Amino acid sequence: MRENIIFGTHSSAELRILNHRARRSGIQHGANITPRDPRPGEPVTLHVWTGPDVEVQQMMCFYTTDGNMPSPTSHSLTLSVTATEWDPLLWGYVTHWEATLPGQAEGTVVWYRIGARTEGGTWVFADNPQPGPLLIAETRRHFGDDAVHPPQNRSGQMFAYTVDTLQPPAWAREAIVYQIFVDRFNRGVERPFIQTDDLEQVCGGTLRGVTEKLDYLAELGVNTLWLSPIFPSPSAHGYDATDYRRIEPRLGNMADFRMLVQEAHRRNLRIVLDLALNHCSDRHPFFQDALHTPTSPYREWFHFDSIYPHGYRGYFGSPTMPEWNHAHPAVQRYLIEAARFWLGEGVDGFRLDFADGPGPSFWSIFRAACRAVNPDVWLFGEIVQPPNLLQPYHGRLDGALDFLWEQQVRHMLAYGHGHCTEMFRFCLAHRAALQPGFLQPVFIDNHDLDRFLFAAEGDVRRLKVALAFLMLWPQPPILFYGTEVGLTQRYSKDDPGRGLSAGRVAMEWSPERQNTEVLEAVRQLIALRKAHPDLIYGSPQVRFCDTAMWVTSYTGQNSHYLVAVNLGPMNRRVPSTTGTLLWSSAPVDTHMPPLSVAIWELQPHGAESAMW
């Protein structure tokens, strides 16, 4: 089975090289600043680099602090060259530039543009890669005609950052999230789904159906519910809204939503909505007006240009999902006010679909506006990028989904590739790289992936080990609906004609068809996570590792733990410890069976005396 691990434009070695070339050519800034999250009074250094394909005579930054967009008459400063390095993939020199903006008062929004006067006196503004024909052709070959967005002009991007002391809300750090695809979860009042064969079409789940299952979810132990888009949409998935302030009628109405929020909060369950603000439906009335009326005031709200196959820019080239022009102030106000509306209805957070589309600058002002309504709102993005490209979002969002962790865990535990040595090296390095002010929720499957149990070819042992990894990781875990009862699917999303809907199967509520062994394991692991925080956040130290087995100790202020993982095909002797077995995925005596995990709580200094 092919590993359908989604990792965007970095999913192959060839595409990683192409992206490197694109990001090191032309004039690039990418919202890279130091510090990443400026505090009041802190100066901010801008980092820019230019590739060998552009000759720069002068580099300038134009900025404002009064809310207006920068212009040639705004405050300005000159960037200086700080380094020049040879790039073997470009086969040319890359030049690094810097300038430092003065510190500002709390609450200030700094807008800026970075421009370079090139040979001949022409001004070009970052980010403007001007990718060569080969790069455009290769990227389009992989991702379609609209995957590369050549600049419409030489005006480049407008950048922004906010000066504040905001941090992720305390409750988000302890969140245990349950992701609900509303149409596939529960229809309500014990009614069967409308149909479950064609997953591109409606199955019939409702908001009332979610409310009916709140006791089940509270008993499971989760404390946060992430709902798929609930707004009016022509699709079953809802990621193409026609209105951001109403409820899709087939899912219910505003009264149903308010009841869900009220009943969830009564059970100490928080509600996170899925917001797709990168694009909307082509049936959105604003887009329809812009499409059919060249003089429409909404024309500038989207990206109309003959360079695009359909005359306008769509999400990954889709003509049914036109992308918003997030640089337009009216678009910013419209999208931000939609989010503020739902915060007023009691929503606790937003999962922000394709957050790297709008980019870091948009989320800077979005976050500040949302926090003004609810200081405890949690904002995390779907940014399918490697860690270095997540950095500009620090201080702009509260965090981003950890696709790199998902990739490694599924590679090892679902598909059985690699060995323990590779896994533990990654986990230790990745854990050490986590930033305290930037949460990275983890998951083993979601609505865009084949379900974990399907990927693991039905091997429940692998699923339980993966669930243990999920619940022991020191970031908010996300449980996809049905994974806790062993829900699987019939076809791979990579099968012809299946697509992303393959794993979005209807929830199984019949106890006879649920895997109660997995369900009980999930309940126990969630309870373990809540009862033993030092097991999650304690300092790890590897005690033993070979290609099949991995043993790590965790030390907190008053507690000591040992976790052993056997991913090999044979029984392995368990550590000789003085402690209590807290949980294991399979019976453990003197040996651990293949594909199993076990957790002990040790007496003081027990880890140091453990023997193998």
Q: Establish whether 484 is a catalytic residue.
A: no
Q: How far apart are CA 526 and CA 523, in angstroms?
A: 5
Cβ neighbours around 454 below 10 Å, total: 22
Cβ atoms of 298 and 273 closer than 8 Å? no
| DSSP state letters, 27-54 | EE-TT-EESSSPPTT--EEEEEEE-TT-
Could you tell me which of 432, 359, 430, 443 has the C-alpha nearest to residue 401?
443
Question: Among 183, 382, 406, 450, which one carries the catalytic annotation?
Answer: 382
Displacement of CA 351 from its chain's centroid (Å):
8
Cβ atoms of 248 and 202 closer than 8 Å? no
Both tokens of 98, joined, read 């810097």
Q: How far apart are the first and last CA of the chain?
A: 36
Query: Which residues lie across from 274 on neighbouring strands?
Result: 351
Query: Which residues lie across from 270 on neighbouring strands?
Result: 224
Cβ neighbours around 583 below 10 Å, total: 20
| Amino acid at site 300 | E
As a three-state string, the secondary structure of 242-305 is: CCCCCCCCCCCCHHHHHHHHHHHHHCCCEEEEEECCCECCCCCHHHHHHHHCCCCCCHHHECEC
Cβ atoms of 487 and 454 closer than 8 Å? no
Give the SS3 label for residue 483: helix
Write the CA distances from 212 to 179, 190, 348, 501, integer angstroms: 16, 10, 20, 25
Both tokens of 301, joined, read 């709200």
All residues at 6 or more sequence positions from 455 whose CB lies less than 8 Å from its CB, including other chains:
1, 3, 4, 410, 414, 415, 445, 449
Q: How far apart are CA 368 and CA 396, in angstroms?
A: 9
Question: Among 127, 146, 274, 353, which one carries the catalytic annotation?
Answer: 353
Query: Which residues lie across from 477 on neighbouring strands?
Result: 442
Q: How far apart are CA 503 and CA 199, in angstroms?
A: 9
Residue with the two structure tokens 């020191």: 474
Residue with the two structure tokens 């000789």: 576
- Give per-residue burial for 473-495: e unless 16+ CB within 10 Å, then b: bbbbbbbbbbbbbbbbbebebee
Q: How far apart are CA 246 and CA 284, in angstroms?
A: 13
Q: Establish whether 382 is a catalytic residue.
A: yes
Residue with the two structure tokens 């702009």: 396
**Where does residue 204 fall: left (phi above 0), alpha (psi -120 to 50 degrees), or beta otherwise?**
left
So which residues are the catalytic ones?
353, 382
